[in-house]
Amino acid sequence: MYSKMVSLRFPEKIVNEPVVVNLVKKFDLTFNILKATIYPRKEGFMVLELSGHRKNYQRGIRYLKSLGIKVDSIGQDIRRDEEQCFQCGACTAVCPTGALHIVRPGMEVLFDKDKCSACELCVAACPARAMLVKFNRSLLY
């Protein structure tokens, strides 16, 4: 199984097309939408984790590009400021991948960077503002 986070920038002419559904039906891929901004008659932007067999993944990416969708791998810089964090655990309640989790019985909050999908939910939930998540700016603008 191959899995990768990608950003998709849709031209306005295909925003209303079932592009992601076709990735599932035509290429046997699964997806998890992490972020999406799509409006009618405007350019759309989506960040998703795309998974499947490597050959199907590559075929799916070629399909997206053939539609005029700009596809980029997500570059991310994710870290936790250990000095800021006071181990409250608020971030663990919103983390969809388990990258932030509590180790019992010590109640220590651990951060597994490899599991992080950069969804940014922990940034909003952290009262200490200890989570620092930055996407590669060239992918977002």
* Intrachain domains 2-73 and 76-135 with the same fold: yes
How much is the mean pLDDT over the chain?
85
pLDDT for 40-89, tens place per residue?
A: 778 888 888 888 998 999 999 999 999 999 998 775 667 889 999 999 99
State the pairing for strand pair 108-111/76-80: unpaired
**Between 51 and 134, where is the model more confident?**
51
Residues in the chain: 141
pLDDT score for 43: 87
* Residue 140 predicted with pLDDT over 70: no
Looking at 3.30.70.260, 3.40.390.10, 3.40.605.10, 3.40.50.720, the CATH number of the domain 2-73 comes to 3.30.70.260
What is the rounded average pLDDT of the residues 7-20? 88
Q: Where are the alpha helices (DSSP H) in 1-141?
A: 19-27, 54-66, 90-94, 121-125, 137-140
Global pTM? 0.56
